[in-house]
Amino acid sequence: MKKTLFIAAAVALGCSLQVHAKGNYEAGKAKSTTCAACHGADGISSVPSFPKLGGQNRDYLHQALTDYKSGKRSNPIMAGQVKDLSDEDMLDLAMYFSKQKGLYLKY
């Protein structure tokens, strides 16, 4: 009985974490309109001083947003942008920008 309950709990937890960890592309796209002012609609800013988000790793983007919100990364503009974002919002944004076509270096 305990083994069955443990397995059921592990499966349920594993499934919910996997879905939660990914984020929602369409929701991220809808939430990205504010980001577009600096980072561009597709995450490729035309301003050299603004980071290019398009094509970046999803986990990296999520961690960066989390760090701005916690103050671990210090940037007054980004701190203001992320202060009202939930973790779900940040996961959605990370998913959206990670799926955009990034820049490729040409040699």
pLDDT, tens only, 56-104: 999 999 999 999 999 999 999 999 999 999 999 999 999 999 999 987 6
Task: Enter the pTM of the model.
Answer: 0.77
Domain that holds residue 9: 2-98
Cα separation of the two ends of the chain: 61
Q: Is 61 within 8 Å of 93 (Cβ atoms)?
A: yes
Residue 103 domain flag: no
**Does residue 17 carry a pLDDT above 50?**
no
Residue 63 domain flag: yes
Question: Where residue 22 falls among pLDDT bands split at 50, 70, 90?
Answer: confident
Q: How many domains does the chain have?
A: 1
The CATH number of the domain holding residue 13 is 1.10.760.10
What pLDDT score was predicted for residue 3? 57
Residue 107 domain flag: no
Q: Determine whether 90 is exposed, middle or buried from the number of CB atoms within 10 Å of its CB (0-12, 13-18, 19+).
A: buried
Residue 13 domain flag: yes
Residue 23 domain flag: yes
More confident residue, 105 or 47: 47
Q: In the numeric block, which tokens belong to residue 66?
A: 């989390």
What pLDDT score was predicted for residue 107? 46
